[in-house]
Structure formats: structure tokens, C-alpha cells
Amino acid sequence: MLTPENKQSEIMQRRSDYQPPRSLSHWLIGRPLSTADAPHQTIGKRVGLAVFASDALSSSAYAIDEILLVLILAGAGALSLSLPIAVTIIILLTILTISYQQTIHTYPGGGGAYIVARDNLGEIPALIAGASLLVDYILTVAVSISSGVAQITSAFPALYQFRVAIAVGLVAIMMVVNLRGIKESGQAFAIPTYFFLGMTLFTIGVGLVRSLTGTLGVVPPGSVEVAHAGETIHALTLFLILRAFAGGCTALTGVEAISNGITAFKEPRTRNAGVTLTWMSVILGVNLLGLTFLADQAGVLPSHLETGFSQIGRVIYGSGSPLYLTMLGSTTLILIMAANTSFADFPRLAALVAGDAFLPRQLQFRGSRLAYSNGIIALAGIASILIVVFRAQTNSLIPLYAIGVYLSFTLSQSGMVIHWLRSGRLRPGESYQNHGQPLYFDPKWKIKMFLNGLGAVATAIVTLVFSFTKFMEGAWIVLLLIPFLVSLFMVIHRHYKTLANSLSLEKFSGLPARQPRHRVILPISGIHQGTLEALRYAKLLSDDVTAIHISMDPAEVEKVQKKWKVWGEGTRLVLLDSPFRLFVEPLLEYIEDIIDQRQPNETITVVVPQFIPSKRWHNAMHMRTAGILRQELLSKHGVIVTDVPYHVHETEME
């Protein structure tokens, strides 16, 4: 134990044996985990696929529609273009996958667009990437939960009036489960993801067999209300094809998820993350190609009322059959699960950005279950606000958030191009540190740079197509929001930086010499045991104590004077008459006078007797001027404020 006699310089290291008590949060999110448990809170490939692929998989459920809805503008004949477009998208997916494999292995500590852009392109591109992704994750939660709920309410119309409550409730459940940590939330949410995955692959398999055996059948004509039917047919321009391609590219949102979440994986991290990325891309590719092929074969027609996926299901299983309904159910589940990828990535990315002091530091805080609690809560809160504001009808936001993702793709891959360029400039065996990341010569740098460059160009085109074609539909919101967020990041950064600089000890020569004079001011509202306690403490601090009584009532002044003569221990007392019956203001003015006259570095302490009621509601019966006084003194005047508490104990209250 510490002995007070031991006065020499001494640094002791102790481990706190504080155990968080069982509480409500304990029951809700599980027993607190020690920091040492962190390695056990990582996930393997199977759970990782469920957590990080659900966003990407959910987009494959509506990607065909995005393509077909554009092509139909050029007439039904143009629909057959969907297959070559899907193949192109799969080529893009392949490029992206290879590129992100390279990124994951180059940045094992988390290699999202933010990090890659920061290390290779500089601060502004990094912040743009970070802002895009953070906005994207928030929109994903709001949109995917809302569309999931829309599916539920179209099956059970009676629930329609409760849709906002249901959606917010689902966000809350997802938040709580994620506060339990990535491991538990991953395990809990793996089932619906694998259920959708199994169901989709089974549907594609059955469809392909039927197609090969010639028993697939066709969507019954007239059973679908075709979009844009009866409108004038546009020419099949390159622009239209590009739009259809861009629409299909929404299927690839979510491919970046793993690169942002590498730290969630078990060791060997990079290997596990890389393998999971490959699995995900293969599944995504199979889904995309399979569904587009089947849609072509079965004559799926684009409609605003029924998805292509549902039409394929009807052809294969028959409308209303149990398997068809199961397929629709699994789609609802995956739409909701897509939000879970955001819950895994948003807090990690926010913590990274906060670690570079571009977001409030609280986002770096890991809660009792080692999850980034503040980030999870912030995500759930902002998404819930969006859901409430848009009354859970956020479907129109779907096209918007792809812009942010493709912008971050472009930045990330451009960053990688610079990386390989730098790598190529080195001699074999040579290496240096680039932002704390080792940079080696890579003999294959040219081919790698080419691949990343190809990806950069391709995604840049998609970004531009998105921005132009969707500008009026709301893309302008994203294009305004991102610069706003970037400026916000920079304001926050400046605050932390100036703070750190002005508190820094690096060029600090020590505080100015201390004056021995210590002046103590003791405001009192009356003379009682609490006041005497404070007076005794004030006299312990210094011999130079001035008590001040603000008087509003001449009758009280006399009482105070008389009592002070008995109990004041000869301390100077100033009776300050307050003609306007104010307490804080005259006192502050008096103290300001004293501050104005103080000698350099003279210390002034204001000792405030603070009444602590035994029950919190008792505060309603007291003026609480002590709190206001402290606030004012600390913030405006920089004097030191000491609270001397006096209690009236429960037992005396009986």
C-alpha cells in the first residue's frame, strides 16, 4: 500500500480490481470483457462471410431490375443486352476483387478506401473517401431496414401503420446485438444470411437444370405490369447502355466491406479476410450471372411492382407455392441483414477517422463488450432519425448511396496505383515507411498497377454515370453532403490540433515561477455548520481568506454580522448589498475586481460550500446557485473553484 511518508519520486503500476457490477446492460449485452479478451472477440471465415457479405448479397436481389428497367426504355428487344452487361459487371467484380486482395495484403491493419487514400493520395481524398463510406453505411441501414419492413407490410397490410415503429425497433435490436460484440452478432445473424444464400443458389441450380432440360417455362404474359409500357421507345444509345451498366453496378456495393473490417478477423487476419473476399466475390458472381441468365431464359419483364427475382421464383416454383414464399421470405431477411454489414464497418471506420482526430474522440471508445459502442449507437441513432423523417419510405434513396461507394472505390484504387508507382521506384530489397506502413519493391508492380488502374478508370466511369444520370433524382444531396462532412472533419481536426499544440510540452519551458501568495474567497449564503466546514478548509489553504455574503435583506445582514463575530475565527467578511436581489452577478463582479488587481501568477481560489441533499429530488428545493457560480468562474475567469460538500444524512432526516 502507499505510505504517505514515502515522498521521493515514485511510479507505481497497479491493476484495478474493480469488477463492473451486474446491471441491466449486463443482461442486455452480456458480461463485460477485459481488454485482454480482445483476440477472442474476432471472427472466422464462415461468420465473416455472413457479416460482411450480407450487404453485397442483398444487392444481387435487385440488380437485375436495375439493368432491365433501363434497357426497356429502348424496347423489349434491348432486354437481351442484360447478359453481356452482367458479364461486364462480373469482369469489373473480378478486377475489384483482385484489387482489394492486393489492398488487404498491403494494409493488414484495415485497408479501406480511407486508409489507402490517406497514405497515398493525401488528406482531402482520404476525407472524401471516409465521408462517402460513412454516409453510405448510414443510408444502407435506413434503406435496407425500410425495404425489409416494406416487404413485411406488403405481406401483412395490417402492419403498415406501424412500419416506422417496426423499422426503428429492428434498428434497436440490431444495435443491441452489435453492442454484444462482432462475434456474437455475427453468429446470431449468420443464419438468415446463409438461409438466403442457400435459397438463392438452390433456385439458380434448379433453374439451370430446368433450362438445360428445356422445362423452365416462361413468365406468363400479362401477369406482370411492365414498366414504361406504351411509352415512346428511345434509341439504344451508348448512354442508355452505360446507364443500364451503372444500374447493375449497384450489385457491387458492399465489395469494399471486408477491406474496412480486416481487424474483425481471427489471425491470420489477412489470409482469412482475403479468402472470405474471394468466396464472397465468387458467390456474388454466380448469383449475378445465374439470375441474369435465368431472367433472360424465362422472359422476365422489368416492373415497378414485382422484382425479377420474384418472377424467376414464380416460373420455377409456381406462384404461391411454399418454396416460392420461402424464397421471398429469405429476400426480406437479407434486406434487413444488409444493415448488419454497416454495423460492423461504420464503427470501425469512424474509430479510424477519430483516431486521426477528424471525428470526436469518443468514437474510439470500446465499450464493455469491446465493440466500438459510441459508433454503433451513433449509427443506430442517425439511421433511426432518417427512418422517422422519411416515415420508413426511404426506397427512393437506394440509387443515391451507390455514388459514395463508387467514389470511394475510385479513390481507393487510385491510391493503390500511386502505391505501386512508389514501389516500382524502389530498388529490389529496398524499403521505407510510408505513414507507418512498410513499402517494399514489388517485382510485379507493373501488372498490379495496371489492374488497379483499370479498376480506378472503370469505377470512375460508373461514378460519373451515376452522378449525371441520378443528379436530379437526389444525387445532388450526396454531392453536397460529402463536401459538408469533409469541412466538418477539418474543423474538428483543427480543434484537436490547436488543443494539442497549445497543451504540448515539446517546446514548453515550464510554468512561470509561482508566487507564494494564495488568495481564497469564500462566498457564503448564511452561517451554519456547512459554512464553518468550508471556512475551516479555506483557512487550511491560506491565511488570506475573504468571506463574502451577498445580502438582499437588511434584517439578515445583522444576523450574519452577529454570528460571524462568534464563529468567523477573525476572518475578513465582506457584506455585499445587492439592490437588485441578484446573487451570482454582484459576486462575479467583486471577484473580477480582485482578479484585475492580482499580481502575476498569484493564485486565487474560490471555495464554494456545496449542499448535497440526501435525495436527488431535494435539489428542487434549493437554489443551485453553486453550480451556476462554478460554471461562470471556470469558463470566464479561469479561477480555481473548490467545492466543499456538506451533507445532511439520511438518518438525521428521519
Give every CB contact of residue 504 below 8 A, 6+ residues apart in sequence: none
Q: State which of positions 222-241 bind a copy of itself (CB under 8 A).
A: none
Distance in angstroms (rounded) separating the CA atoms of residues 283 and 285: 5
Longest Cα–Cα distance of the chain, Å, equals: 110
Instruction: For residue 132, count CB atoms less than 10 angstroms from its CB and return exposed for 0-12, middle for 13-18, buried for 19 or more.
Output: buried
> Taking CB under 8 A as the criterion, which residues in 7-26 touch a copy of itself?
7-18, 20
- For residue 581, the minimal CB distance to a copy of itself (Å) is 6
Q: Judging by DSSP bridges, how do beta strands 518-524 and 431-434 pair with one another?
A: unpaired
**What does the block give as the cell for 392?**
420508413
575 binds a copy of itself (CB under 8 A): yes
> How far, in Å, CA of 370 to CA of 383, rounded?
22
Answer yes or no: are the C-beta atoms of 483 and 567 closer than 8 Å.
no
Q: Would you say 286 or 492 has its CB closer to a copy of itself?
A: 492
Tell me the window of 186-194, 205-213, 393-401, 577-585 that interacts with a copy of itself (CB under 8 A): 577-585
Query: Would you count residue 490 as binding a copy of itself (CB under 8 A)?
Result: no
Alpha-carbon separation of residue 178 from 116, 323, 335, 584 (angstroms): 27, 31, 17, 47
Omega of the bond leading into 268 within 30 degrees of 0 (cis): yes
The backbone torsions φ and ψ at residue 400, rounded to the nearest 5 degrees and listed phi first, read -65, -45
How does DSSP assign 111-143, residue by residue? Answer: --HHHHHHHHT-HHHHHHHHHHHHHHHHHHHHH
Residue in 2, 235, 238, 555 binding a copy of itself, rule: CB under 8 A = 2
The smaller minimum CB distance to a copy of itself, of residues 328 and 521, is found at 521
Closer residue to a copy of itself in complex, CB, 359/451: 359
Q: Considering beta carbons, is residue 233 or 623 the nearer one to a copy of itself?
A: 623
Q: Is 638 in the site for a copy of itself (CB under 8 A)?
A: yes
Nearest approach, Cβ of residue 181 and a copy of itself (Å)? 13
Q: Is the Cβ of residue 428 or residue 512 nearer to a copy of itself in the bound state? A: 512
From the list 204-212, 214-222, 393-401, 614-622, the region that binds a copy of itself by CB under 8 A is: 614-622
Q: Which of 155, 220, 589, 628 binds a copy of itself (CB under 8 A)?
A: 589
Q: Which is nearer to a copy of itself, 435 or 581 (CB)?
A: 581
580-594 burial by CB neighbour count: b if 16+ within 10 A, else e?
A: eeebbebbbebbeeb
What residues pair up with 437 in beta bridges, in sequence order? Answer: 434
> Where in 499-558 is the site for a copy of itself (CB under 8 A)?
499-505, 508, 510-511, 514, 517-519, 527-530, 532-533, 536-537, 540-541, 543-544, 546, 550, 552, 557
Please give the residues from 337 up to 396 whose contact with a copy of itself meets the rule CB under 8 A: 360-362, 365-368
x-marked contacts with a copy of itself along 36-75 as a string, rule CB under 8 A = x---------------------------------------
Least distance from C-beta 109 to a copy of itself, angstroms?
14
Residue 83 binding a copy of itself, by CB under 8 A: no
579 binds a copy of itself (CB under 8 A): yes
Among the candidate windows 90-98, 225-233, 307-315, 602-610, which touches a copy of itself by CB under 8 A? 602-610
> Is residue 586 near a copy of itself by the rule CB under 8 A?
yes
Per the listing, cell 475551516 goes with 536
- The whole-angstrom separation of Cα 514 and Cα 517 is 9
